[in-house]
Structure 1
Amino acid sequence: MQRLLRSLVPAALALLLAPATGHAASPAPAPHLLSTLPLGGAGGWDYLSFDAPHRHLFVSRGDRVLVIDVDRNRQIATLADTPGVHGIAIADDLGRGFTSNGANASVTEFDLRTFKPLATIVGTGEKPDAIVYDEPSHHVLTFNGRGHSASVIDPAKGAVVATIALPGKPEFAVSDGAGHVYNNIEDTSELVEIDTASNKLLHTWSLAPCESPSGLAIDTRHHRLFSVCDNRLMVVTDALDGHPVARVPIGDGPDAVVFDAADSTIYSANGESGTITAVHQDDADHYRVSATIPTRVSARTLALDPQLHRLYLSAAQFRHHRPAEWPARHRA
């Protein structure tokens, strides 16, 4: 994930994304900004994660995680002592959450209702970044940026139970909920598939002409994966056999992407453009840009509220002006 400049003040932005009405004579309302919630304090940010059953948004903030009650639009808790935190995985069936702590190769397990830490699990690969929960195996996987590996954690044992070598530096990861986890490999522009029953790397697929893939989302119904790339492309891949399906233009500096199954739309957060590209899925094999939504320069990570069709983004408010040296792409 990108580093942030020290002169930035983060804020959480909420966008309402209305689904299409389905009537040609009544176009869907344009997406618009609902509210801005200042977060304050030192530190940059990384992944956002949404706990839909509890209606909580988790925002990583350098050495802690902020918990936002989205219905009351306010912060209700802080998870402290998560050094170098990148991502937050939600395991609602276990009532647990897990943070990837990049600074000390550990994972913090916490209670989803009380937000109290329950355990610190050590021994992941170097610099755990993306983190995902796989419900079929009840395992948590961290994707380790410097370790070029995935660490498999069994929460019942509170320990790393397997390490999976990867062909390069991993980025975002998603689970299909059926025993497979997918991950973008940034420096080789590849996509990998992991079998979570055997903890084996099953396939490695090229994403060419994608450059430096970061964000990854999945449509489990149609078995489609959506990778966003530095060269202003979103690449659609068949999750069953890895064949390329489509390429769609997006904005500059994409980092996160989500899929809203209710309105068949993929949303790419483009931090350098200060936009979201909305891509409509006409069917499993055909995609088109349906809207370009202004946000804020640096708004590059996002999470979806699938119930209300809202996007939440972390962004920066520049104290004076956007620095000329704003980095094109810097990975932590």
Structure 2
Amino acid sequence: SITGLNEPQGAYYDPATNRLFVACGGDGTVKMFDGTTYQLLQTMTLDLDADNVRYDARSNHIVVGYGGQKFLAGKVTRPGGGGALAILDTNGKQVGNIDMDAHPESFQLEKMGTRVFVNVPDRQEVEVADLVKGTVVARWPVTACTTNFPMSLDERHHRLFVGCRMPARLAVFDTESGKIVASPAMVEHTDDLFYDAGKGRIYVLGEGFIDVWRQMDPDHYDRIGRVATPADSRTGLFVPDLEELFETTPHHGAQGAQIGVYGIQ
């Protein structure tokens, strides 16, 4: 195990270099470790609240969301301040920065393009940035709900799935027009959601349940299942190659920390 991390949030393992990158929210750092020995190789200091981490295969860069105003979810940082996406190479050098209007939460990168879609709940919008231009190119208001945190992308059908907490809704955006085409009610207090391109489903992890949605067509969605989970389980990982969904439960009171594994049928 790796110890001494100040609120670890996002992580990415680069198999080409055998390096593990971990973003730490408490001190705003990104730490790079050897993937075999877990030796700390480098520490990159960004700003407060280093958070989500993604890999851009097109450029072989790592993208980290950090900083900015964050009044929601009971955490107050940088009143009125903008956040950003830091662009790092796999040696840990920062090679770019894209300014956001407030703290960036979950974000998704196009594989067939250069756009990145970013949830910015303190502005109640999705901000769209261009990784080549290095700037925000569009701002889409989230009109159906607020507190938009998790996100997933269906690039083939040009659909972006955004999970909201107030009220609990799945906001579906057309990524060509920036408009919401559907917003069905869903599980409360979501913190992760995943699109299963092979089965045309969306898995939404929330407060005590996993909702399973079927994509009837790009504009219509039916909930086909709801699976009970421990009360505090809201985050996880979907691995398409294994057809398994992993859900995490933190330690709380008499309930020990655990990982639930769900087979996809």
Amino acid at match of 1:162: G
**Which structure 1 segments of 5+ residues have no match?**
1-77, 322-332
Identity %: 26
Q: Residue 163 of structure 1 aligns with which residue?
A: 97
2:185 matched to 1:263?
no
Q: Return the structure number with greater relative CO, CA threshold 8 A, min gap 6.
A: 1
Match of 2:210 among 276, 279, 304: 276
The alpha carbon displacement at 1:87 in A equals 0.8
Q: Report the 3-state secondary structure (helix = DSSP H, G, I; strand = E; otherwise coil) of the residue aligned with 2:122.
A: coil
2:208 matched to 1:285?
no
Is residue 27–residue 47 contact of structure 2 (8 Å, CA) maintained in 1?
A: no
**Which structure 2 segments of 5+ residues have no match?**
69-80, 256-265
Match of 1:102 among 25, 29, 38: 25
Is residue 139–residue 155 contact of structure 1 (8 Å, CA) maintained in 2?
A: yes
Q: 1:317 to 1:203 in 2, by over 3 A?
A: same
- Alpha-carbon distance in 2 for matches of 1:126, 1:318: 26
Is residue 141–residue 150 contact of structure 1 (8 Å, CA) maintained in 2?
A: no
Q: Report the 3-state secondary structure (helix = DSSP H, G, I; strand = E; otherwise coil) of the residue aligned with 1:254.
A: coil
Paired residues, number: 241
TM-score, structure 1 length as denominator? 0.67
Is residue 143–residue 170 contact of structure 1 (8 Å, CA) maintained in 2?
A: yes
The alpha carbon displacement at 1:210 in A equals 1.6
C-alpha RMSD of the superposition: 2.1
Map 1:175-194 to 2 at 5 A.
Answer: 175-177=109-111, 178-194=113-129
Match of 2:189 among 253, 268, 286: 253
2:21 matched to 1:85?
no
Q: 1:256 to 1:320 in 2, by over 3 A?
A: same
Q: Report the 3-state secondary structure (helix = DSSP H, G, I; strand = E; otherwise coil) of the residue aligned with 2:198.
A: coil
- Alpha-carbon distance in 1 for matches of 2:132, 2:35: 26
- Alpha-carbon distance in 2 for matches of 1:87, 1:115: 16
Is residue 90–residue 96 contact of structure 1 (8 Å, CA) maintained in 2?
A: yes
Q: Residue 135 of structure 1 aligns with which residue?
A: 57
Q: 1:156 to 1:171 in 2, by over 3 A?
A: closer
Map 1:230-241 to 2 at 5 A.
Answer: 230=165, 231-241=167-177
- Alpha-carbon distance in 2 for matches of 1:252, 1:296: 13
- Alpha-carbon distance in 1 for matches of 2:114, 2:32: 22
